[in-house]
Amino acid sequence: MEERMEEKTIKQTRKKTKLTIIIIGMITLILVIAFFVVTVYLDRLVEKTEGSIQLSVLKQKVDVITDANGVPKIQAQNEHDLYAAQGYVQAQYRLFQMEMSRRQASGTISEVAGEAAVDQDKYFRTLGLRRAAEKSYDLYSDEAKEVLEAFAKGVNAYMQQAKEDNTLPIEFKLMGFEPEKWTPLDSLTIGKYMAFDLGGHWEQQAFNYYLLQQFGEEKAYELFPSYPQEKPVIMKEKYVSVKDKLSQAIIPPAFNGSNNWVVSGEKTASGFPMLANDPHLGLATPSIWIQMQLQTETQQVSGVIFAGVPGIILGHNEQIAWGVTNTGPDVQQLYLEKRKPYSKATFLFEGEWEKASIIQEPIAVKDGATIDYEVVETRHGPVISEFVEDSGEENVLSLKWTALEATTELEAILQINKAKNWESFEKGLEKFLAPAQNFVFASKSGTIAYKANGNIPVYENGKDALLPLPGWQRENEWRGYIPFDELPIMINPEKGYIATANNKITTEDYPYHISNVWAQPYRYERIAEVLESVEEITVQGMQDLQMDSFNMQAKELTPSFLQLLEGGKLSKQATEALCLLDEWDYKDDASASQPLLFHHWHKNIEKTIYQEIPDSMLDLFKGKGQSTDTLLRKAIKGEPSAWLETYGGLQQVLLDSLQQSITELEEKYGETISEWKWGDYHRVYFEHPLSNVHPVLEYIFNQEGPILVDGSSVTPMAASFEEETGIVDHGASWRFVIDMATPSKGYHIVSPGQSGHVKSRWYQDQLPDWVKGNYHTTYLDSMTGEQLTLYP
């Protein structure tokens, strides 16, 4: 009996096992089939670079040659077809990115993402980037409008084909919507968004105002980005309370900056000028830039452009090359406005009540009701007090900003693309108004030049944007802009090079105010040190300098820190840490332990001395690095600081923050300090916008995890990181080097790659190149690759 029962049990077990195997096999088969189907479907979405396509919007045949790195060269027989084809090709590579860019700038994300995006949409509707684009469109020449129209036609031609063929990017399927027609205003609005991303300094004004409200004048002034020799007018009354936080304001990263430099032929191995540029912006998948080449009988230009915009904004042609960094001037001004009681849109100005504009901005919400949203605009600009907590009913804050005015940057781009020398290039700059940028220039003929270009406000009586100004007094109005012919300029300097890294650009005798908030000088100092020390600079040397990880901040501060703590009562771990720092070559290399120590130490110094300030307000402290190092320099010289004395003075702050850093790092990386690595913490990750929605989407769109990388925010190899995670999310969005001995040949890195399609060979292929500094070469005159012909 027992034997039969046992045999029965064995048979049942075998049946269950067999059934389980069958079920697992079926599930596996279904997953394999699903994977195969998805893979085949995704393969259909990849950009087409060979064969032919009929494009009815064209007038004549267009050839598109795509090189091994996914860089398309568009060869057209007329200007209309050139820009129509550019729109078509950009849409092939980046349609989803273009769609989300115009939505973010226009404040229409809620239409496709739902309630979670409402506050963000309210902010961008309030700023009114699209309204500013509408005003700008009216200023454009007929020629520029034709370019915008042709570009839009090309984008729409691709959209129509993709809808008919069911080949829209997979992101549209996942989000459950299809894109609407592209318009010229979409391109201009994206341009306005880049002015937003490069910012101004209204957040610093709000922060300064907060300091004066919460701390004494003496303590507040210590953190002002430029300590005033004569104190600015301080309004004792709290007209508006900037308290705790800006609730929903979108704050761009501090110093969305860049490096650029140009070297005279007298200092180069080739005998011709060389130019380098690496704009520092947010790092994501896909890249903010798309690299392209454009050719007709009247122009041949190569470089990068924002996806969704025609032309080439940075790059070179057969005669010249150019690059930019952010000037960072005070182009934003907060105004305190006195509102008439019981009136939403009436404000005081010079003793009279003045009507403001009320703009209807209804916000459609996916799976929700449309929000009847209103924006109030005073004579200065939009009222942003909704985004400032506890702002009061009678008094509000408005924002005046050069980018909200009508400007003509695309007009400038079109002229620059065809420029042949400095004179024609500078003439094009007259149309480039916002954002203000540091342009460097090199020509085959030997000229090198620089100009800080754009609309930079002029204030009366030396007012310089340190604080919000009373909006009811005419004396606080801008008095126009620095005249074009008086903007900072330099042509063929004796030292043989020009470099900018968002550092201060003018001396004290310059007659106009530019800014109070500049990037810390360390990147510029290192660039200048290298350029001055080399007699015959090569292309490789220029590339090496873009990848340079030398930390001039550490070189300046570390010896003083060590001296101050020498002979003090230190723990065994602290002593070991200081010995390692004493041996450091000051390079922020991923394999070294010292950068991990130094950056955490500096971070905890700031945490200690600013602990009275809420984290939400520290987000507005755009000049924090500048102010911190100023406090440290003064304290090293023996000058007192209220922010340091509160916590025992500099020596005690250094000791406490060092020990805190060691404790934190031991918990994460073990007790052996010498085995710590900067790269264990400092890693780059080009995140796709849908990766954080679900782990499956993260696997699909970001199969390449974080990669350890050299550099930091203060090294020429710019790699800014989130303090909590160490993830590098801001840095060189494009690297470019050119020797004008061969102006048809450029060296580039566009990371993570050219394509926005996850199955494309060019999706994240340049990510390792970004980390290692491997450049690809493009040619204006002899480009080879796959050929696609577009027929009318």
| Residue 29: predicted pLDDT | 44
Weakest-pLDDT range from 330-344, 408-422, 579-593: 330-344
| Separation CA 777–CA 744 (nearest Å) | 10
Please report, for residues 275, 276, 449, 543, 732, the alpha-carbon distance to residue 497 in angstroms, rounded to integers and kept in the order given: 10, 11, 9, 16, 21
| Separation CA 553–CA 715 (nearest Å) | 9
| Confidence label for 781 from pLDDT (cuts 50, 70 and 90) | confident
Contacts 24+ apart (CB under 8 A), 555-558: 555/586, 556/522, 557/602, 557/629, 557/632, 558/584, 558/586, 558/598
Q: Which of these, 584, 215, 642, 611, lies nearest to 650 by C-alpha position? A: 642
Q: What is the mean pLDDT of residues 312-333?
A: 96
Query: Mind listing the pLDDT tens digit for each residue in 634-682?
Result: 999 999 999 999 999 999 999 999 999 999 999 999 999 999 999 999 9
| Separation CA 290–CA 310 (nearest Å) | 11
**Residue 544 pLDDT more than 90?**
yes
Q: Which of these, 50, 46, 49, 59, lies nearest to 791 by C-alpha position? A: 59
| Identity of the residue numbered 772 | K
Q: Which of these, 230, 300, 293, 250, lies nearest to 104 by C-alpha position? A: 250
Query: Mind listing the pLDDT tens digit for each residue in 103-134?
Result: 999 999 999 999 999 999 999 999 999 999 99
| Residue 127: predicted pLDDT | 96
Question: What's the mean pLDDT when you consider all of the chain?
Answer: 90
Q: Which of these, 770, 633, 83, lies nearest to 410 by C-alpha position? A: 83
| Separation CA 520–CA 606 (nearest Å) | 15
- Per DSSP bridges, beta strands 745-749 and 735-739 are antiparallel
Q: Is 756 helix (H, G, I), strand (E, B) or coil?
A: coil
- Per DSSP bridges, beta strands 274-282 and 727-732 are antiparallel
| Separation CA 97–CA 307 (nearest Å) | 7
| Separation CA 314–CA 684 (nearest Å) | 24
**Residue 622 pLDDT more than 90?**
no
Weakest-pLDDT range from 17-26, 511-520, 678-687, 713-722: 17-26
| Residue 615: predicted pLDDT | 84
**Residue 40 pLDDT more than 70?**
no
Whole-structure pTM value: 0.92
| Separation CA 445–CA 758 (nearest Å) | 43
Residues constituting the chain: 792
Query: How many C-beta atoms surround the C-beta of residue 4 within 10 A?
Result: 8
| Confidence label for 27 from pLDDT (cuts 50, 70 and 90) | very low
Q: Are residues 359 and 493 in contact, defined by beta-carbon separation less than 8 angstroms?
A: no
| Separation CA 454–CA 442 (nearest Å) | 20
| Identity of the residue numbered 226 | S
Over pLDDT 70: what percentage of the chain? 89
Query: Mind listing the pLDDT tens digit for each residue in 244-291?
Result: 444 456 666 665 579 999 999 999 999 999 999 999 999 999 999 999
Q: Are residues 379 and 363 in contact, defined by beta-carbon separation less than 8 angstroms?
A: no
Q: Are residues 594 and 580 in contact, defined by beta-carbon separation less than 8 angstroms?
A: yes
Q: Per the structure block, which two tokens stand in for 527?
A: 């660039």
| Confidence label for 569 from pLDDT (cuts 50, 70 and 90) | confident
Q: Which of these, 301, 253, 303, lies nearest to 277 by C-alpha position? A: 303
Q: Per the structure block, which two tokens stand in for 465?
A: 């944007």
Q: Per the structure block, which two tokens stand in for 407?
A: 């400007």
Query: Mind listing the pLDDT tens digit for each residue in 227-251?
Result: 444 433 333 344 454 554 444 566 6
| Residue 44: predicted pLDDT | 77
| Confidence label for 403 from pLDDT (cuts 50, 70 and 90) | very high
Alpha helices (H) in 619-703, listed in sequence order: 624-636, 642-645, 650-669, 678-681, 695-701
| Residue 251: predicted pLDDT | 64
| Identity of the residue numbered 678 | W
- Per DSSP bridges, beta strands 258-263 and 707-708 are unpaired
**Residue 785 pLDDT more than 60?**
yes
Domain boundaries, the chain: 1-45, 552-586+593-676
Strand partners for 62: 790
Look at the alpha carbons of 201, 207, 209, 212 in this order and tell me if their dihedral is positive or negative.
negative
Query: Mind listing the pLDDT tens digit for each residue in 703-724?
Result: 888 999 999 999 999 999 999 9
**Residue 1 pLDDT more than 80?**
no
| Separation CA 655–CA 568 (nearest Å) | 9
| Separation CA 647–CA 636 (nearest Å) | 16
Query: How many C-beta atoms surround the C-beta of residue 574 within 10 A?
Result: 18
| Confidence label for 692 from pLDDT (cuts 50, 70 and 90) | confident
| Separation CA 165–CA 244 (nearest Å) | 52
CA 569 to chain centre: 44
Q: Which of these, 661, 593, 734, 725, lies nearest to 291 by C-alpha position? A: 734
CA-angle at 312, arms to 268 and 278, nearest 5°: 45
| Residue 465: predicted pLDDT | 77
| Residue 229: predicted pLDDT | 43
Alpha helices (H) in 107-183, listed in sequence order: 110-113, 118-127, 129-137, 142-165, 170-175
Q: What is the mean pLDDT of residues 388-416?
A: 86
